Chains A and B, each alone.
Chain A
Amino acid sequence: MLVYIIRRLLISVLTLVLITAFVYGLIRSMPGSPLTAMIAGGGDSSDKSISTQQYERMKEQFGLNKHWTLGYLDWLNGVRKGDLQNALTQPGTVAKLIGDRMAATLLLSVTSLILAYLLSIPLGLYSTARNGTIPERSTSLILYMLYSFPVFVAALYLQILFHVNLEWLPLYGVTSSNYAELSVLGKAWDLFLHCLLPVTCFTYTSLAYYTRFIKANMLEVVQQDYIRTAKAKGVGPFKILTVHAFRNSLIPFVTLIGLTLPSLFSGAIIIEKIFSWPGMGALFLEAISQRDYPLEMGLVLMFSVLTLMGQLLADVLYGVVDPRITYS
């Protein structure tokens, strides 16, 4: 197992270098650069007209005068030392910028993921047991309607209902303006209230997806011969579903977990915009539109690492949930 993980990690490092080199090349060959973005980016035209010397000086300062391969090697060398460089268009290092946004993003995504699992697993099992009955069909119809309901519409309606009409919940942001003055309990309550609407929006769409996924896998499993064996020895329907069948349907579920890991950190641009949530999605958009090369590369590196770790995690978990898979 250990040998397997080490081997996978070595391969991952190689993959990372290839991905980042490819992306760096792509970014550099896009039209525009951080400088053009800065020059074009607002303010009075008099301030922004910079001399050729100034332009060349900044180019050198940002390392844009070098060929992209050398630029990449510089960046890679920095990564090796644990330095992701400073962002070009925002104050602070890339690492700090990402770190600041991470907490807000994870608060939203992890809460909603846990909530989605907690609701979809029982719903999936229920749908399997009652497959084809009217209550099951109604449940799945409602879930489908939610699935296809656009999140920006839902968010706006929720805001109108809970903020404007009922005045129960705050409109946007992570905390209230008087957050610093609140007691510990008060801070937690304040966070909770702010989270409620974005988490709801984040969760309801994935609910139908997960429920459907679990049900489809369970329906496949309950037709297997070993389920018939369990029935033949007198096991009751509840235990058959929760013990004999569910353990087996965890195997495809693990794949899903591996694939969701990066998306936990990626944020959701629409929800973040609507609720003014300072998350990763917004940061990504800023980095790309302003051609902030170090910031873009920092984000790409993070997602590549997360994707590869997600895959590795899934493969390791296969070994845990499925005794047929061993790594030796």
Chain B
Amino acid sequence: MTDTLVQIDHLKTYFHTEDGVVKAVDDVSLHFDAGTTMGIVGESGSGKSVTSLTIMQLLAKSAHIESGSISFLGRDLVKLPETEMRKIRGKDIGMIFQEPMTSLNPVFTVGAQVTEAILLHQKVTKAEAKQRTIELFDEVGIPDPETRVNSYPHQMSGGQKQRVMIAMALSCNPKLLIADEPTTALDVTIQAQILDILRKLRDERGMAVLFITHDLGVIADIADHVTVMYRGKIVEQGDVVSIFENPQHPYTKGLLACRPRLDTQYKLLPTVDDFMEVATDDKGEAKIIEKFVDEKRLNELMTTGRGRLLHPKAELAAMGHPWEEGHHAGDAKMVADGEKPLLEVRDLHVHFPIRKGLFRGVAGHVKAVDGVSFNVYRGQTLGLVGESGCGKTTTGRAIIQLIRPTSGEMLFDGIDLAKLNPAASVFDSWPPTMLDRWSKSKQLRRLRRRFQIIFQDPYGSLNPRMTVQAAICEPMVIQGIGKAKERRDRAAALLEEVGLNASHLRRYPHEFSGGQRQRICIARALTVEPEFLICDESVSALDVSVQAQVLNLLKDLQLRRGLTYLFISHDLSVVKFMSDMIAVMNQGKIVEFGPADNIYANPQQEYTKRLISATPQDDLDHIRRRQAERKTALAARLSAV
């Protein structure tokens, strides 16, 4: 068990682009043994995925391996001809990818895709290969494997597709499994299941795993050794306990600190910038300078900002979380009794019709949102948490009338928004008049300057053909705010406020990173001076280190501008960090509602408990427990052999 399986020496993979050479992997050396799990962690652009693709020799055409070697089973993969490499891919090295949604070919059945891998590398008949596929499906926990092999990818959920990918990768008993962010696109509960399967199969088969992720929480759950990468270079390596117990490099320290934990006491998150800064020396080489986080800064992070702002006393009592002195964090406050909520949602239903038959009659409904009620008070943050498909996004969009609600009231400062939706108002005044509908849609548009939304995907929600200035100024144009010059000045000021600068105005979205784009989206939402912001998974697509910065920005803006947030996310730890009150949604209904700290400390519903236990933990006890479990499993396997 101590033979080195993979030995990478001084690997350099560069991309030759029109803008010059990008050193994606810059002098990387690492090795790991058969049967162990190496975790590579880093943010996007750190070179972790390129490293794995270099091992597989699946690089894009613009990439070139400048030097170095990758020794695997006594052969140097860098020098291996393509025809030889093809025999290793899928046979000795299996690989799973980040996006299970797009990683399977949509026009073939999932069974056929796994069978193909078996037939490529093993001398078996088609029937045997199919039988083997069914066994593999069973092994990775796909229920009813005999039928499921005939399913097409679109008929399976994301978690099941990732199981198919694992079955495919393991079909030829590889000695090495490369897992490139295999759980990033999945819900936390599904992530926990997939990690369970990977741990189990790894221990049963004694294979080595190269696990790549940006999330240290996941690393803590699965890796034996950790490699931390930053800008193409390895900054720290070590076994998992020592990395978490005693991180040496400032970047590692920063990464560890910036994750919002379920038990965090911070009001603002520390960021990587608190631990280091990057300076360029005379030769143009980037150099990392360590900074030390002193008591003062820690204190600042703990105390900057306001305490939780809870619902009025009567409502807290009604939801079973009565206010008790000293029970809540020191500076938590209640909204005064009798204050009107800024947003009042009453019995919101959003049903999508399922149409069938010759005349497209309505055969049933998908009840995306099924009777949701809640209040949000001025200056509060309400967190809406749940897994994909629970209806949280639909709720957010229905409130601001981007989707037509089926029924229910959405009172924004006393005005029912649903009544203003021109699509919904046909039967409200009979006979409908164009003038009436026009005036209503105009009213709604006027109101829109008071509430705005920030979406999940900062790549998709900015028009690639519009400059930053055009994008930020557009809401002001629609609302008729200011003259061109004033709008430009305001856009510049807002960019400064979100941490960018005025020189960015003339650029296009593709010139920015994901985090910067999300800042632009925030600036765009702020142009019309809204009181209420819906953040719909606004940090889910970002790296952990960037996520911390954006979360801090949102908190900072709330304090300065007195904003009210509806914060929608699947990530309980992020929601808990941001929110005063939390609503847990499942299958279109709110299953639990209460103050953020109470929901975490004392969950009442089974579903909430499940969400909490699935959230990755990275405390040392947990890591040590995992390592102990692993030793037992290995010992059991050895004694069985």
Docked CA distance A236–B107 (Å): 19
Q: Are B89 and A226 in contact (CB under 8 A)?
A: no
A249 CB to closest chain B CB (Å) equals 10
Would A247 and B108 be within 8 Å (CB), given that A234-B90, A328-B356 are in contact?
yes
Q: Are A233 and B168 in contact (CB under 8 A)?
A: yes
Whether B76 sits at the interface, judged by CB under 8 Å, is: no
Q: Are B154 and A232 in contact (CB under 8 A)?
A: no
Would A248 and B106 be within 8 Å (CB), given that A231-B58, A231-B89, A233-B89 are in contact?
yes
Q: Are A226 and B103 in contact (CB under 8 A)?
A: yes
Chain A contacts for B102, CB-based, 8 A? 224-226
Q: Are B97 and A229 in contact (CB under 8 A)?
A: yes
Would A228 and B106 be within 8 Å (CB), given that A234-B86, A324-B152 are in contact?
no
Whether A6 sits at the interface, judged by CB under 8 Å, is: yes
Q: Are A6 and B168 in contact (CB under 8 A)?
A: no
Q: Are B58 and A235 in contact (CB under 8 A)?
A: no
Chain B contacts for A232, CB-based, 8 A? 56, 58, 89-90, 94-95, 97, 169
Interface residues of B in 161-180 (CB under 8 A from A): 165, 168-169, 171
Q: Are B356 and A229 in contact (CB under 8 A)?
A: no
Whether A220 sits at the interface, judged by CB under 8 Å, is: no
Q: Are B103 and A229 in contact (CB under 8 A)?
A: yes
Interface residues of A in 286-324 (CB under 8 A from B): 321-324
Would A233 and B116 be within 8 Å (CB), given that A6-B358, A226-B102 are in contact?
yes
Whether B346 sits at the interface, judged by CB under 8 Å, is: no
Chain B contacts for A129, CB-based, 8 A? none
B370 CB to closest chain A CB (Å) equals 25
Whether B439 sits at the interface, judged by CB under 8 Å, is: no
Interface residues of A in 216-260 (CB under 8 A from B): 224-226, 228-236, 244, 247-248
Whether A80 sits at the interface, judged by CB under 8 Å, is: no
Whether A7 sits at the interface, judged by CB under 8 Å, is: yes
Q: Are B106 and A235 in contact (CB under 8 A)?
A: no
Q: Are A234 and B87 in contact (CB under 8 A)?
A: yes
Contact partner of A248 (CB less than 8 A), chosen from B90, B105, B121, B152, is B105
Interface residues of B in 358-399 (CB under 8 A from A): 358-360
Chain B contacts for A323, CB-based, 8 A? 106-107, 152, 154
Docked CA distance A235–B105 (Å): 13
Q: Are B86 and A229 in contact (CB under 8 A)?
A: no
Q: Which residue of chain A is the closest to B88 with respect to CB atoms?
A: A234
Interface residues of B in 25-77 (CB under 8 A from A): 56, 58
Chain B contacts for A3, CB-based, 8 A? 357-358
Q: Which residue of chain B is the closest to A226 with respect to CB atoms?
A: B105
Chain B contacts for A321, CB-based, 8 A? 107
Docked CA distance A248–B102 (Å): 13
B283 CB to closest chain A CB (Å) equals 35
Docked CA distance A229–B108 (Å): 13
Docked CA distance A225–B100 (Å): 9
B56 CB to closest chain A CB (Å) equals 6
A225 CB to closest chain B CB (Å) equals 4
Whether B117 sits at the interface, judged by CB under 8 Å, is: yes
Whether B589 sits at the interface, judged by CB under 8 Å, is: no
Whether B91 sits at the interface, judged by CB under 8 Å, is: yes
Q: Which residue of chain B is the closest to A245 with respect to CB atoms?
A: B105
Interface residues of B in 86-137 (CB under 8 A from A): 86-91, 94-95, 97, 99, 102-108, 113, 116-117, 120-121
Contact partner of B90 (CB less than 8 A), chosen from A7, A233, A322, is A233
> What is the number of residues of chain A that contact chain B, defined by CB distance less than 8 Å?
24
Chain B contacts for A322, CB-based, 8 A? 106-107
Chain B contacts for A328, CB-based, 8 A? 356
Docked CA distance A321–B106 (Å): 10
Docked CA distance A244–B113 (Å): 10
Would A229 and B120 be within 8 Å (CB), given that A234-B86, A323-B154, A324-B154 are in contact?
no
Contact partner of B358 (CB less than 8 A), chosen from A7, A225, A228, A229, is A7
- Most chain A C-beta atoms within 10 Å of own C-beta, residue among B56, B106, B107, B359: B107
Docked CA distance A226–B165 (Å): 11
A253 CB to closest chain B CB (Å) equals 13
Q: Which residue of chain B is the closest to A229 with respect to CB atoms?
A: B103
Q: Report the interface size class on chain B.
A: 35 or more
Chain A contacts for B360, CB-based, 8 A? 7
Chain A contacts for B107, CB-based, 8 A? 247-248, 321-323
Q: Are B89 and A234 in contact (CB under 8 A)?
A: yes
Would A226 and B106 be within 8 Å (CB), given that A6-B358, A232-B56, A234-B121 are in contact?
yes
Q: Are B99 and A225 in contact (CB under 8 A)?
A: yes
B472 CB to closest chain A CB (Å) equals 32
Chain B contacts for A226, CB-based, 8 A? 102-106
Docked CA distance A248–B106 (Å): 8
B94 CB to closest chain A CB (Å) equals 8
Q: Which residue of chain A is the closest to B106 with respect to CB atoms?
A: A324
Would A225 and B103 be within 8 Å (CB), given that A235-B120, A323-B152, A328-B356 are in contact?
yes
Docked CA distance A317–B461 (Å): 33
Docked CA distance A6–B358 (Å): 7
- Most chain B C-beta atoms within 10 Å of own C-beta, residue among A226, A230, A231, A233: A233
Q: B-facing mask of A54-75, CB < 8 A → 1, else 0? A: 0000000000000000000000
Q: Are A233 and B117 in contact (CB under 8 A)?
A: yes
Chain A contacts for B113, CB-based, 8 A? 229
Q: Which residue of chain B is the closest to A132 with respect to CB atoms?
A: B61
A247 CB to closest chain B CB (Å) equals 5
Chain A contacts for B95, CB-based, 8 A? 232
Q: Which residue of chain B is the closest to A251 with respect to CB atoms?
A: B107
Docked CA distance A6–B360 (Å): 12
Interface residues of A in 1-17 (CB under 8 A from B): 3, 6-7, 10
Docked CA distance A6–B104 (Å): 34
Q: Are B87 and A229 in contact (CB under 8 A)?
A: no
Docked CA distance A322–B360 (Å): 22
Q: Which residue of chain B is the closest to A321 with respect to CB atoms?
A: B107
Docked CA distance A328–B354 (Å): 11
Docked CA distance A326–B403 (Å): 25
Chain A contacts for B99, CB-based, 8 A? 225
Q: B-facing mask of A251-273, CB < 8 A → 1, else 0? A: 00000000000000000000000
Q: Are B168 and A228 in contact (CB under 8 A)?
A: no
- Most chain A C-beta atoms within 10 Å of own C-beta, residue among B106, B152, B165, B357: B106
- Most chain B C-beta atoms within 10 Å of own C-beta, residue among A7, A10, A229, A248: A229
Chain B contacts for A230, CB-based, 8 A? 105
Q: Are A236 and B104 in contact (CB under 8 A)?
A: no
Chain A contacts for B120, CB-based, 8 A? 233-235
Interface residues of B in 183-223 (CB under 8 A from A): none
Docked CA distance A228–B59 (Å): 10
Q: Which residue of chain B is the closest to A227 with respect to CB atoms?
A: B105
Q: Are A228 and B97 in contact (CB under 8 A)?
A: yes
Would A229 and B105 be within 8 Å (CB), given that A234-B121, A235-B120, A323-B152 are in contact?
yes
Further 16 A-B residue pairs, CB within 8 A, beyond A233-B169, A247-B108, A324-B106:
A6-B358, A7-B359, A226-B104, A226-B105, A229-B97, A229-B105, A232-B89, A233-B89, A233-B117, A233-B168, A234-B90, A235-B120, A248-B106, A321-B107, A323-B154, A324-B152
Q: List 15 A-B residue pairs with CB atoms under 8 Å apart, sorted by A's residue number.
A: A7-B360, A10-B358, A225-B97, A225-B103, A226-B102, A232-B94, A233-B94, A233-B169, A234-B87, A234-B90, A234-B121, A235-B86, A322-B106, A323-B106, A323-B107
What is the interface of chain B, defined by CB distance below 8 A to chain A? 56, 58, 86-91, 94-95, 97, 99, 102-108, 113, 116-117, 120-121, 152, 154, 165, 168-169, 171, 356-360
Shortest 5 CB-CB contacts between residues of A and residues of B: A233-B90, A234-B90, A225-B102, A233-B117, A234-B89
